[in-house]
Structure formats: structure tokens, C-alpha cells
Amino acid sequence: MENVAKLKKEFLEYLEIEKGRSVKTVENYDHYLKRFFEFAKIGSPESITEDLVRKYRLYLNRADLDKPTQNYHVIALRMFLKYLSKRNIESLDAEKIELAKLPQRELDLLSSEDLERLLASPTGNSPKALRDKAILEMFFSTGLRISELCGLAVDDINLKRGEFSVRGKGGKIRVVFLSDRAKSALANYSEKGGVVDDERLFSMTPRSIQRMIKKYAVAAGITKKVTPHVLRHAFATDLLQNGADLRSVQAMLGHANISTTQIYTHFTDRQLKEVHRAFHGRRRK
């Protein structure tokens, strides 16, 4: 009979080594599974049953956790069960556990006017202004996650080609592209602003970048909260508004599943509604 504590440890090692997950991701899975086993008080994987999982989900729901957080716990458990199945260890079939349905989340979207004011906010030729301008243009041009941007090295960027490779979630590599405005901002930053660190392109922490964007959003008169992820949304919706297909946007965002990218279709559906309202049945009025 296999011991669940030993199996959990081996599963976390499998995630880190074979699946190439980040240390932070492995820590999250450890946290979620620890919660399950503290609740379940079982010693063997055979003891994981549908009834036990149902009681665990009631426990999570009554612990005042929001639905997405509850799902994260369940996803970790399903991944563990799939790992057991892969090793031919008897336990509950992961497919018998369904995730809770979540309401479609609303996107934090910037109007084109707000976006332009934000991108134009860093002014002057000081090293700081040139750096901040380059960061904002990079976010909108590439759709990078903040962790991806902070991890960029000077040698990663090919201004002549206007494209470069980035390692995203799960260690997956994708190509991202620079607009003419982003190339110009980066060139100005490199030539006039100077790169402080010989290795890193931007010597800033994620937190300092978040504060910088908030400062320029306030200066631009934008009342809603603006974050690096809001600029990632702006990148995706701009592509879709201008005719890009969902699969291409998925590839450029680095989403593993098309379902993640489909949150943007809600926005384009609203745009279609406006087109319908403007052009349909005009002769009947």
C-alpha cells in the first residue's frame, strides 16, 4: 500500500522536473494538496473517493474561499490523481471530478483614448522617462506578462528584426513582435537612457513597474485601475478589433488553452452588437 505523503512528495518532484513547472507553481500545488490531506486524514490513495471529495468541496465552500480559489484546490487534486493513474496506482479517476462553473469575468478594458494618453505620459529625455516609455510601449506591443518583461535580458531583444523569443508559463517559448513605436522607444532607451544592468533590460521589480504604471495612469486622468495585465488585455483586444483570429491571439499571448483566450470574445461580441444596432434594419425605420 502506497503512502500518500510519499506520493505527494514524488508528485511535486515530477511537476518540477518532468513537467518543468516553476518553483512557485510547485509551492502552490503543495499548499493546495496539503489542505486536502489535512482535511481527509487518509493514509493511502485508495481512500480517495467521490464522497470524500464531495465533502472536501463543501468544506472549501464553507471556508469562504471564492470560486476560482476553490477550483485551484480541485485542479491540484485532479493533477495528483492523474499522476497516480499514470503510475498505475489505484485511486479515484480524476475525470469524475468536475470544476465548478464560474461566471464569465469582465475584462478591465481601456478605451483607445485612455490608452493613447497613458502611452504618451512619459515625456522628456531623462533616462527614467525613456525607460518608462519603452516599458509601456513594450507591454502594449507584445502582450507580455510582467514576469516575462522583468526577466528580459539586453541580448534577448533584436531591434532589427522587430521580434524576439520569450519563455512563458510552463517554460514554453513563443515569439513576440515589436511595433514601430515600441522599437523606437527601445532604441531611444538603449542609446540615450542607457541600460544600467549589463544583463537585465529593465532593472525594475514587478512591484516597481506596477507603481510606475499607476503613476502615469493617474497623470493621464484615467480613473480606473491600470495594471500590466490591463495592458495585456489592451494588446489582445486591439488585435481582435482589427481582425486577428482567436488562435493567433492565443499563440501571441502564450495561452495553453483556447478557452483562456475566449474571455476576449465577450468584448468582440459587444462590438458586433454595436455594428448590428448601427446597420441592421435601417430601411424599416
Same domain, 161 and 237: yes
Is 40 part of a structural domain of the chain? yes
Q: Which CATH number does the domain housing residue 234 bear? A: 1.10.443.10
pLDDT tens-digit series, residues 35-80: 999 999 999 999 999 999 999 999 999 998 888 899 999 999 999 9
On whether both 27 and 69 belong to a single domain, the answer is yes
> Does residue 281 form part of some domain?
no
Number of domains in the chain: 2
- Statement: residue 171 has pLDDT above 80: no
My answer on whether 251 and 116 are in the same domain is yes
Residue 173 · residue 166 · CB < 8 Å: yes
pLDDT band at 197 (very low <50, low <70, confident <90, very high): low
**What amino acid positions are annotated as catalytic residues?**
145, 169, 229, 232, 255, 264
* Percent of the chain clearing pLDDT 70 (strictly above): 87
Domain match, 139 and 238 both: yes
Are 141 and 173 part of one and the same domain? yes
Residue after which a domain boundary falls, among 34, 69, 96: 96
Residues 206 and 116 in one domain: yes
Identify the pLDDT of residue 214: 94
Q: Give domain status of residue 198, yes or no.
A: yes
Question: Is the pLDDT assigned to residue 278 strictly greater than 80?
Answer: no
Q: Considering the chain, what is the average pLDDT of its residues?
A: 86
| Same domain flag for 92 and 135 | no
Is residue 203 domain-resident? yes
Residues 137 and 92 occupy one common structural domain:
no
- 208 and 138, same domain (yes or no): yes
Q: Is 154 left (phi over 0), alpha (psi -120 to 50) or beta?
A: alpha
Whether 102 maps to a domain, the answer reads no
Quote the pLDDT of residue 191.
85
**Residue at which a domain ends, from 47, 71, 96:** 96
The domain that contains 56 carries what CATH number? 1.10.150.130
Do 120 and 182 lie in one domain? The reply is yes
Residue with the bigger pLDDT between 280 and 259: it is 259
Residue-level pLDDT at 216: 95
In a domain, 160, yes or no: yes
Could you tell me if 30 and 137 lie in one domain?
no
In which domain, by residue range, is 68 found?
Answer: 4-96
Which of 69, 96, 123 is a domain's end point?
96
pLDDT classification of 256: cutoffs 50, 70, 90: confident
